[in-house]
């Protein structure tokens, strides 16, 4: 632990789907630019080691602080959320709990839909963004590498992510279960981010619908997607109103900070199913009050469960075993990192005593064998430092207290 981290602890603070509804999560949501501003602000305030994740299901900061309020303040300053809201809907994890929480997120155990691995990519991006702006310290770097390795092992060695279950898939499943003759309905997908792409792919794969239409603000992206996928028609953003009027189902995944679909886009006399996959919500709330409109948001879609989730539930113990293995490896690294300066300092102190004693006996004893004395005393030093390491690693040892006592005895800065 470096000087900046003295007196600090690892915390994870934030809001998630577990306590906060869509509206509250939207208030705390952070765009990429806001995340960058937060990271820069954290550095300017002397916070050593911090990263931020903001998705449709959670916004969380992980970092070192003397008190969690340092991180909470950052979150509230850079989002539209208030401290009062945070207190009501937040999660705060400290130390080992924060570590466990990151492992759970990275392996899909904390996903709103169990085993959903979309969060893993988002976690990697958050880590890389913090690295880019110099906000990651050695501790967080090693921890995130362990989390991502555990994530890979869980994905490869369990069926926790078997089947296809995500918000985009849940939208398709909702259509299949609730819309008569869904294969013949005209579907408009508005927005071609990652979720929008997945929604289109799922519609093509699971519904065999050949009447899928796509609009994206950047038309070239829509053209590129349509070239790679048959049965998808594209139109320009300027024709959004016309496409909505013709649609039976509207899927919105635009990822904007304010609603992109408002009352002016909706024709009241036409029956329309609207699925809002965006976070913050991109469909204005007033739309829900229209008589012929059915508006479904992320929270409602996430309630959909199937046999896939039952199968995934049975895989949780296997995932936890893998997590425990990687946590132990991280703990070993952490212990070694913590002990090394203390052990090295003790060794240097003992070597100084060794040198003084050998010099003393060289002057006092005629024919004194310096080489033999160095060999014997070096072995003694090695045995002492080895015993010290064993003592520090004992789970019943108070590490800080032991280091302080040895420091006083040998007058060494450990």
Per-residue pLDDT tens digits for 110-167: 988 888 888 898 999 999 999 999 999 999 999 999 999 999 999 999 999 876 567 8
Q: Is the whole model's pTM more than 0.85, yes or no?
A: no
404 versus 395: which is more confidently predicted? Answer: 404
pLDDT tens digits, 204-221? 888 889 899 999 999 999
Residue 413: pLDDT band by 50, 70, 90 thresholds? low
Please name the residues in contact with 4: beta carbons below 8 A apart, sequence gap of 6 or more.
46, 48, 64
pLDDT at 94 over 90: yes
pLDDT at 305 over 60: no
Residue 66: pLDDT band by 50, 70, 90 thresholds? very high
Per-residue confidence (pLDDT) for residue 276, from 0 to 100: 94
In the predicted model, what is the mean pLDDT of residues 58-84? 96
In the predicted model, what is the mean pLDDT of residues 287-291? 88
212-238: b (≥16 Cβ within 10 Å) or e: bbbbbeeeebbeebbeeeeebebbeee
pLDDT at 4 over 70: no
Residue 65: pLDDT band by 50, 70, 90 thresholds? very high
Per-residue confidence (pLDDT) for residue 342, from 0 to 100: 79
Q: Which tokens go with 348? A: 């240097």
Catalytic residue chosen out of the listed positions 56, 150, 249, 301: 56
pLDDT tens digits, 160-219? 987 656 788 889 989 998 999 999 999 999 999 888 998 998 898 888 898 999 999 999
pLDDT at 93 over 90: yes
In the predicted model, what is the mean pLDDT of residues 263-276? 89
Residue 56: pLDDT band by 50, 70, 90 thresholds? confident
In the predicted model, what is the mean pLDDT of residues 35-52? 96
What are the distances in angstroms from CA 222 to CA 67, 229, 236, 240? Answer: 47, 11, 9, 13
Per-residue confidence (pLDDT) for residue 279, from 0 to 100: 83
CA–CA gap between residue 199 and residue 5 (Å, rounded): 44
Q: Which tokens go with 162? A: 């078997």
Please name the residues in contact with 376: beta carbons below 8 A apart, sequence gap of 6 or more.
none
Per-residue confidence (pLDDT) for residue 397, from 0 to 100: 77
pLDDT at 406 over 60: yes
Q: What is the 3-state secondary structure (H, E, C) of the chain?
A: CCHHHCCCEEEEEEEECCCCCHHHHHHHCCCHHHHHHHHHHHHHCCCCCEEEEECCCEEEEEEEECCCHHHHHHHHHHCCCCHHHHHHHEEEEECHHHHHHHHHHHCCCCCCCCCCCHHHHHHHHHHHHHHHCCCCCHHHHHHHHHHHHHHHHHHHHCCCCCCCCCHHHHHHHHHHHHCCCHHHCCEEEECCCHHHHHHHHHHHHHHCCCCEEEECCCHHHHHHHHHHCCCEEEECHHHHHHHHHHCCEEEECCCCCCCCECHHHCCCCCCEEEEECCCCCCECHHHHHCCCEEEECHHHHCCCCCHHHHHHHCCHHHHHHHHHHHHHHHHHHHHHHHHHHHHHHHHHHHHHHHHHHHHHHHHHCCCCCHHHHHHHHHHHHHHHHHHHHHHHHCCCCCHHHHHHHHHHHHCCCC
Residue 257: pLDDT band by 50, 70, 90 thresholds? confident
Q: Which residue is associated with the tokens 């300017």?
A: 44
Residue 412: pLDDT band by 50, 70, 90 thresholds? low
Per-residue confidence (pLDDT) for residue 112, from 0 to 100: 84
Per-residue confidence (pLDDT) for residue 300, from 0 to 100: 84
pLDDT tens digits, 307-363? 678 888 999 999 999 999 999 999 888 877 777 777 888 888 899 999 999 999 999
pLDDT at 252 over 80: yes
Residue 228: pLDDT band by 50, 70, 90 thresholds? confident
Q: Is 200 one of the annotated active-site residues of the chain? A: no
Per-residue confidence (pLDDT) for residue 409, from 0 to 100: 78
């Amino acid at each position: 632990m470096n000087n900046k981290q003295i007196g600090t602890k690892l915390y994870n603070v934030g809001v998630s789907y577990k306590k906060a509804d869509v509206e509250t999560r939207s208030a705390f949501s952070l765009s990429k630019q806001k995340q960058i501003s937060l990271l820069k602000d954290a550095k300017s305030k002397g916070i050593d080691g911090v990263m931020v994740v903001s998705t449709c299901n959670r916004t969380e900061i992980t970092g070192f602080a003397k008190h969690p309020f340092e991180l909470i303040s950052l979150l509230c300053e850079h989002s539209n959320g208030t401290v009062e809201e945070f207190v009501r809907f937040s999660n705060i994890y400290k130390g080992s709990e924060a570590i466990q929480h990151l492992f759970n997120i990275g392996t899909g155990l904390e996903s709103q839909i169990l085993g959903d691995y979309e969060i893993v990519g988002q976690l990697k991006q958050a880590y890389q963004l913090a690295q880019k702006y110099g906000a990651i310290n050695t501790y967080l770097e090693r921890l995130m590498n362990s989390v991502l390795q555990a994530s890979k092992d869980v994905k490869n060695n369990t069926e926790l992510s078997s089947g296809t279950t995500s918000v985009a898939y849940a939208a398709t499943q909702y259509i299949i279960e609730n819309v008569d003759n869904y294969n013949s309905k005209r579907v408009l997908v508005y927005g071609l981010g990652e979720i929008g792409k997945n929604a289109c792919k799922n519609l093509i794969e699971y519904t065999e619908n050949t009447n899928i239409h796509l609009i994206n603000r950047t038309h070239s992206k829509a053209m590129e997607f349509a070239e790679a996928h048959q049965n998808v028609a594209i139109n320009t953003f300027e024709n959004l109103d016309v496409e909505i009027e013709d649609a039976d189902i509207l899927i919105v995944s635009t990822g904007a900070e304010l609603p992109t679909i408002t009352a002016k886009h909706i024709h009241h006399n036409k029956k329309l199913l609207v699925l809002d996959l965006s976070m913050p919500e991109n469909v204005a709330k007033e739309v829900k009050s229209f008589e012929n409109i059915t508006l479904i948001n992320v929270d409602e879609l996430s309630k959909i469960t199937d046999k896939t989730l039952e199968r995934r539930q049975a895989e949780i113990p296997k995932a936890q075993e893998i997590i425990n293995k990687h946590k132990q490896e991280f703990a070993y690294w952490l212990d070694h990192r913590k002990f090394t300066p203390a052990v090295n300092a003790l060794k240097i102190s003992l070597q100084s005593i060794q040198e003084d004693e050998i010099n003393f006996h060289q002057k006092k004893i005629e024919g004194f064998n310096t080489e033999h004395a160095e060999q014997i005393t070096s072995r003694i030093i090695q045995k002492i430092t080895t015993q010290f390491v064993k003592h520090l690693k004992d789970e019943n040892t108070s590490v800080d207290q032991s280091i302080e006592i040895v420091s006083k005895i040998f007058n060494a800065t450990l």
